[in-house]
Structure 1
Amino acid sequence: MEFFLNLAFSRGKPLSKDRVLKTDPERGDMLVQACEPNPSSGILRFARVAKFFIPMGDHKDVVELFDPVIVHASTGYMEVHGYERTDDGFYVQSWILRPTMVDGARSSGAHIHTGQPGHTGYRGTDIAPSE
């Protein structure tokens, strides 16, 4: 399934709501899989990883989220927490994913809005599909 993706953290630090709102989302496909341990590396546990494939011309850029946990899911969006790997270690990360198809119609992108009583989505906001 194709999603729009916004990142909510940068190197383990939360991005401001304003920055998340103003960042154009990436568009791509998500895959969740289990990684087999490699005995020679000394890692003995299984890990789950979510991969987001972003079309980039003739190849796809891949963004990975390790040990993903869905913390919110609705028809409008899904928030997934986990860890991203960088050159200098692992950092906490949160993905905000919105389907590109809403009620059978292609979405031009969803928007994040605030002020909805009873909704406790991403840091006090809720994400809803575009009209």
Structure 2
Amino acid sequence: MSLLNSSWAGALLVVIAGACLVRLESPFDPVVWEHPTDLPVLEGALSPNERLLETEHLHEGQVIAPEAFAEGDDGSLYTGTWDGRVYRMDPDGTNPTVVFFTGGVVSAAGRAVGSTTGVEYGTSFMHECHEKVP
């Protein structure tokens, strides 16, 4: 019986504490935040940097997610991609061709969908053997 009485006493205590909390006044006075209309002008070191908007996009839609670039002895550019492919390009960045594949997973459609050795292997390897790869 004492367990039942203590359960009732606990429940009554919770109800009384809840009633007290509802009746207490909050010391906080919330207000609605409004976005300021007179924003400061960003000048000097804080001025917007839009230099990347002026850059030339190489191989857009052709070489997906290049990780790093290296220059070969003949001036050719090399890059590794997320799926383990290594591309060689002309010195001006045109004509990307796959010259090496680090061994990724190939889908049923014959397309590489991931690499077991990774991009890091491809980019370090391409730097060592770029003149040996056709």
Question: TM-score band, normalised by the shorter chain?
Answer: under 0.3
Q: Which has the larger radius of gyration?
A: 2
The structure that is strand-richer by fraction is 1
The structure that is helix-richer by fraction is 2
